[in-house]
Structure 1
């Protein structure tokens, strides 16, 4: 059975780039409130819809959706590295159920997850450890992206499985809201970067440090209004949050990829994970917004939403 859902922004810059203390305190309080919600729900397993930041999925073979049967956290931006505790038989059963519902989904026995999955799991485990987890990758960064209609279909299929499950299942959506991370694109990447976008491969220490240090620098530049990246867009975030809280998961159906990128940034596409998580609850869920604020130092519109099925 489904015990509830938490949708929240992640930001790898949070623990190093200091924001206004009052803003940090309010955000931390909202995460604690969500963790208390998780504790009260007492889930046996968490299903997390998460985006990848070109760390685990590459153009050599790029599915729109993928269930992790075995997965490892790469430990970027201070998140814990190591194997996730995935109940293999249950993850396979979930994948088979989703396929049987008519939604095509891949599986992986060698999934690599980054902070997009690890950070929210760690934040929400403060009071009730979310050790047993089934990660579901949703492609939000490497076009072409799945449509919002297919994302909702995925969420509904996962929700049907979870509602029949003997376990108490928590559904997590990790991503967004508006932000414009410095992620390379195939269309503009130099030859060496293009090759890595296709072939993938782990970064060495120097490469990982350089990549993370560049992202931290962009957060500092954003706070000084000197970044070349698109800042978080509170108006767009508010429109999306209000729609999701009201149960309108079709709010972006008519929006093109380019239009979302232009107003919500390249990271705005990660709202797909929230839509999948909320679609899993069914059409009549009740949602409560715990936090929203655009935080320049974290280059992200930071939001936290919790919901329960009707």
Structure 2
């Protein structure tokens, strides 16, 4: 059997890569970056043989012509490379990926799979900062978090538990880490695909529908729209959520609807699904430690990073 040895949850923002000079004076930005570095070191100390990374895709690898709820990369994994994030081939553990795919189907899930999966900063930003050498093979699990209807929070929790179950019976004797990429509270200036109100809305939906193979053609205006957005961050929501991560119990949020999360913490907070799945994969009794949190308006996002230890690791320690 294989063991899950560590979980990491980390917010992402490509503005951290492209606009660092605008936040270099802010204690919060340095606090978050230092937290990422501490998580990087904890991950290196855990010495994983493979990393399951759970995140979103921002319409650079998935588009409205086909939007699965859950997708596993079982072959080539390619970084989109936008905004200074890793581009091109990424190391992939195809054996573990195929095992997860088959197991999840057996456990009542219906994930899509890809033999040539393009992932954007919803996956690669965390890899860039937590595994900077890109020297550990990954299994990307991409959850639809931006094109409603979205899988429920409860379903994402069950997905994480099923991933843990599959890892435990894979027979490979690997040390596996689980990274959750995304969140916390933030609101992107993105419309619902069925409810466009402005020229920018219609442009974005056109990009999301027709961008397969040409998403870069839409990138300049996309970035302009995002940079013009007003920040909408809810630190209370973020701190409450991180406290639940520390306690290892996300029960209080699992029955909340997507509409409720949107109203409380913005459409970008739908990415807490990755954290929920990660914590479930660490199992009952897991406990988290928040390494950093800062609300950073320049990045539009409540930026958090935490590590989660499985109960067996703490007992051994």
Q: TM-score, normalised by structure 1?
A: 0.90
Determine the C-alpha separation between the residues in 2 that align with 1:268 and 1:199.
25
Contact 1:148-1:250 at 8 Å conserved across structures: no
Correspondence 1:140-289 to 2 at 5 A: 140-165=145-170, 166-189=173-196, 193-203=204-214, 205-218=216-229, 227=230, 231-289=232-290
Which stretch shows the higher mean deviation, 37-46 or 82-91? 82-91
Q: Secondary structure at the match of 2:17?
A: coil
Determine the C-alpha separation between the residues in 1 that align with 2:210 and 2:117.
15
Determine the C-alpha separation between the residues in 2 that align with 1:274 and 1:294.
18
Q: Secondary structure at the match of 2:238?
A: helix
Following superposition, the deviation at residue 117 of structure 1 comes to 0.4
Following superposition, the deviation at residue 176 of structure 1 comes to 0.2
Q: TM-score, normalised by structure 2?
A: 0.88
Following superposition, the deviation at residue 58 of structure 1 comes to 2.2
Q: CA RMSD in A?
A: 1.9
Which stretch shows the higher mean deviation, 23-32 or 158-167? 158-167
Cα deviation 1:101-124 (Å, max 9, x = unaligned): 222211111221111100100100
Contact 2:91-2:135 at 8 Å conserved across structures: no
Q: Secondary structure at the match of 1:55?
A: coil
2:97 is matched with which residue: 73, 76, 91?
91
Following superposition, the deviation at residue 62 of structure 1 comes to 1.6
Determine the C-alpha separation between the residues in 1 that align with 2:31 and 2:237.
21
Following superposition, the deviation at residue 152 of structure 1 comes to 1.0
Aligned length: 299
Correspondence 1:2-81 to 2 at 5 A: 2-17=4-19, 18-19=22-23, 20-69=25-74, 70-81=76-87
Following superposition, the deviation at residue 129 of structure 1 comes to 4.2
Which stretch shows the higher mean deviation, 146-155 or 10-19? 10-19
Contact 1:140-1:270 at 8 Å conserved across structures: yes
Following superposition, the deviation at residue 173 of structure 1 comes to 0.3
The runs of 5 or more residues in structure 2 that have no matched partner are 312-317
Determine the C-alpha separation between the residues in 2 that align with 1:240 and 1:255.
13
Contact 2:237-2:265 at 8 Å conserved across structures: yes
The runs of 5 or more residues in structure 1 that have no matched partner are 219-226
Cα deviation 1:227-254 (Å, max 9, x = unaligned): 2x5x110011112111222122222233
Determine the C-alpha separation between the residues in 1 that align with 2:63 and 2:217.
21
Q: Secondary structure at the match of 2:282?
A: coil
Q: Secondary structure at the match of 2:28?
A: helix
Q: Secondary structure at the match of 1:116?
A: helix
Cα deviation 1:46-86 (Å, max 9, x = unaligned): 10000111222223222111101122111111112102221
